[in-house]
Amino acid sequence: MRLFTVGPVACYPEVLKEMKQQMFSHRSQEYKKLHAETVELLQNFLETKNEVFLFSSTGSGFMEASVRNCVNKKMLCCICGSFGKRFADVATSNGKQIETIEPPLGEPITPDLLDQKLMKNPDIEAVSITHNETSVGLMNPLEELAAIAKEHGKLLFVDAVSSMGGTEIIVDKWDLDVCFSSSQKCFGVPPGLGVGSVSEEALKKSETIKNKGWYFDFKIWEKYQKQKGTPMTSVIPQIAGLNRILKMIEEKGGKKWFFNLYAERNQQIREGVEKLGLTLFPKSGYESPTVTCVNAPANIDGLEIYEKMRKKGFELAKGYGSIKNATFRIGNMGYIEFEDIHSMLEALGTVLVDLGWKR
């Protein structure tokens, strides 16, 4: 099966090879070296001097962590789809009050919307933004939104689960307080590892928060980080895999090379589906560089397209949430060859004809 999923994605062969090595203790010298090196590679990749933590959890662990460490009473959740909604659920289930901005599905959060909301609600402590909303294939203008949040003096949490590694994020320049991702997306590593940067300001806020729990307490993580380790057992194979891909990116020409590779794949997919006569779900100009969310033609169920593509040997991604049947998605993260893109598009054309699609 050739994978055009939105995570877990197909892993790079070099990553899988690296992960096969025998285990060592997470308190050993071997681990400390691997840990410190991987943190440094990520800091360079994200252009940050902030702490970078390697959580033994998926990316959602960082949602919980940011809410528990950095919000006393109230935060603003920007919602463009299912994962923005998840951040809001994490906040309320941790007893926090929330304000929300929720434009119509397929539309981005604009700097104006954010500015107005923050002006009206000065008691908001922090803002969450989904950089790339995987459920609808939409990317928000993060740099501009971050500037607004900072003008208002708010902490900023960025869910970069399906964008980190696939497009530029400059943590220090953009002043992002918590910026996190998961191993199973753009880095093409198996699931189980959450990575995220945490600013000095976020760490300071964490000192003031009561009842923040233990597992994700940033201050405990900071303490262990100084000893090149983690409070609990690390997901060593995933960290070794991430270490390999980050080094591979450096060897092949750096992160710009990697972003261009993803952009090229994304463009070929987008042009291919448009050539077939299909349209994209998100508002023009905000399409995701890692996930193409395609409108299923009228009278054809997106789930049927997904199922028929599986039978032809291509795993795409089903539509998600309220647009589950009306769309299907094509990911371009992880290990994908260009020739597979061409054969996937060819198969999609055949599937649409089989389903009775007439332009």
Ligand X SMILES: Cc1ncc(COP(=O)(O)O)c(C=O)c1O
Give the separation between CA 233 and CA 238, rounded to whole angstroms.
12
Could you say whether residue 332 binds ligand X (CB under 6 A)? no
> What's the per-residue H, E or C state across 334-355?
CCCCHHHHHHHHHHHHHHHHHC
Q: For the chain, how far is it from start to end, CA to CA, in angstroms?
A: 29
Please choose, out of 24-32, 95-103, 158-166, 218-226, the segment that lies near ligand X by the rule CB under 6 A: 158-166
Whether residue 14 contacts residue 244, with contact meaning beta carbons closer than 8 Å, is answered with yes
Could you say whether residue 128 binds ligand X (CB under 6 A)? no
The only residue of 8, 59, 137, 334 in contact with ligand X, by rule CB under 6 A: 59
Site string for ligand X, 1-40 (x = CB under 6 A): ------x---------------------------------
Could you say whether residue 327 binds ligand X (CB under 6 A)? no
Could you say whether residue 336 binds ligand X (CB under 6 A)? no
Could you say whether residue 199 binds ligand X (CB under 6 A)? no
Of residues 213 and 313, the one with the C-beta less far from ligand X: 213
Which residues, at least 6 apart from 292, have a Cβ–Cβ distance to it below 8 Å? 137, 266, 269, 270, 273, 280, 329, 330, 331, 332
The only residue of 38, 58, 199, 234 in contact with ligand X, by rule CB under 6 A: 58
Tokens 């803002």 sit on residue: 127
Which residues, numbered 76-95, are part of the site for ligand X (CB under 6 A)?
Answer: 83
Could you say whether residue 159 binds ligand X (CB under 6 A)? yes
Residues 53, 58, 64, 67, CA torsion sign: positive
Closest separation in Å from C-beta 83 to ligand X:
4
* Interacting residues toward ligand X by CB under 6 A: 7, 58-60, 83, 130, 134, 159, 161-162, 182
